[in-house]
Amino acid sequence: MTVRNRKIAVFGLGYVGVVSAACLARDGHKVVGVDPQPEKVRLVREGKPPIVEQFVGELIEEGVRTGALTATTDAAEAVAASDMSLVCVGTPSRRNGSLDTAAVARVCEQIGAAIRGTTGRHVVVMRSTILPGTMRGVVIPTLEKASGMTAGEGFHVANNPEFLRESTAVYDYDNPPKTVVGATDPATASEVLSLYEALPGPKIATTVDVAEMVKYADNAWHALKVAFGNEIGNLAKAVGVDSHAVMDIFCQDEKLNISPYYLKPGYAFGGSCLPKDLRALTYKGRELDLDLPLLNSIMPSNQHQIERAFERVASYGVRRVAFLGISFKSGTDDLRESPQVALVERLIGKGYDLQIYDRNVHMARLTGANREYIVNVIPHISQLLSDDFDAVLEHGELVVIGNPAPEFKGLAARLREDQKLLDLVRTPGASDGLGTRYDGINW
C-alpha cells in the first residue's frame, strides 16, 4: 500500500488540522481542508496559514501552488472528493470539566450523510482528542445513523491520536515519538499507518479504546512531570539547593527515572525506601510551610490502592483465601511496609480464613535477617505462613497473587474448577485458560 496519492479530507483547520493537512499535502496526498469558518478557508485557499506556527506557512503556500491542498466550507463536497476523512476538530472542556464532543458529533453527522448511498470504501479517522468510549459511544453510532450503514461494512473507522506541540508542531509531525492507530480491523489500521510509514519511531496498531486512552495517559504524565518538577524545585529553593542541578542529575538516570520502570499498573508500592523517604520529604515540606499537594497525595493514593484490593477480595463473597507472595516484591524476604502485609492484616481483621505461601519469607522466618520482625511484629501473620504450596492452594476458594514469584507463572493449570484468581501484579501466564475466573486489580 503506497504512502502517496491518497485523497484526504481534513475536518477542522485549527492547529492539529492545519498541520496535518499541510504535511499530508507535502507528502504527496491530495488534501482538502474543511472548516465552517469562511475566513480560515479563504486563508488556506490563498496559500496563507490560519494559525501562527513555524514552517506551516511555507507548507501551505507550496501545497496550494502545486494543487495538492485546497479548502472548503462544504463537508459533502470534501467527502465526495476523498476516500479518507481525518477529524481534527476541537474537544474543549465544559464548565464542569467534562469533554464537549459536540463538534465531533456534528462532523460525524456530516460525513455520514455524505457517504450515505455510496459504495466506495471510506475511512473515518479520529485525530481529535477523545475520552475512552467516545469512538464506540459517539463516533460510530453517529456515523451509522447518518449514513444508514454499518461500521466495518459501509465505512471503516480508526483513532489516530496526535502528539503535536504548539510552536514545534511540524517538527513533531515529522519526528513522532510513536505513531498509534486504533481500529476495529487490521486492514484499516494498516491503511492509516501507511500514511506515516516514512516517519521514524514505532508504528503501533491497537484497538480504538486503547488508542483513545493513550493520549490521555501521555498528557496526564506530562502534566504530572511539570507539577513534580515544580514541587521538587519549591523544596530545593526553600533549603537553598539548586533545583536545576538536582533535576539535571535526576534526568540522567534513564534506567529507573526516565524509563518504563514503575509505570505499569499494578499494586501499591512498599519496602524500606519509598514510603520512608516520601514521608520524610513531605514532613520537611510541612516544616518549611510549603504547600506540596502532589507529593502529599502520593501516600494517600497508595493507601487507596490497598483499599481497592481489599474491596476486590470482598466482592467475591468467599471466606477462604490462599495468599501467594507477601513480601513487597518477589525475590526478597523484606516485609517492611509491604502493602501485601497491609492487605493481609485487613483481611485477617475482617475474619477471612487465610493461608499464606511465600518461599522467601518462610525461609526468613527460620533463619533470615527479617526473622525478628516476622516473629515479633507480625506474629499473627507468621502463624499463617506455610511452606507447603499445594496445601495453601488447596485451602483457597479465592487465590490472590501478591508478587510475581517465578513459581506462580504456571499457576492456572494447578487451580480447581471452582477456584478464582485475583492477580495484583499481572503475573505472566497466570490468566492462561482461566477466562472469567481470572481478574486483575486494574486491568
The annotation places the binding site for substrate at 163-166, 215, 262-266, 270, 329
In one-letter notation, the amino acid at residue 78 is A
- Known catalytic membership, residue 273: yes
What angle, 0 to 180 degrees and rounded to 10, lies between the N-to-C axes of helices 208-238 and 274-287? 50
Binding-site residue set for NAD(+): 35, 40, 91, 129, 166, 276, 336
In one-letter notation, the amino acid at residue 376 is N
SS3 state at 433: coil
Backbone angles phi, psi at 408, to 5 degrees: -95, -5
Q: Which candidate, 184, 164, 186, places its Cα nearest to that of 174?
A: 164
Binding-site residue set: 35, 40, 91, 129, 163-166, 215, 262-266, 270, 276, 329, 336
Return the number of other C-beta atoms located less than 10 Å from residue 300's C-beta. Answer: 8
8 Å CB contact between 53 and 46: no
Per-residue cell: 424: 495484583
In one-letter notation, the amino acid at residue 215 is K
Q: Helical H runs in 239-273? A: 243-252
In one-letter notation, the amino acid at residue 214 is V
- Between CA 385 and CA 392 the distance in angstroms is 9
Q: Which candidate, 361, 388, 387, places its Cα nearest to that of 375?
A: 361
Residue with cell 515540606: 285
Which is it for strands 385-386 and 398-401: parallel, antiparallel or unpaired? Answer: unpaired
Please give the positions annotated as active site: 273
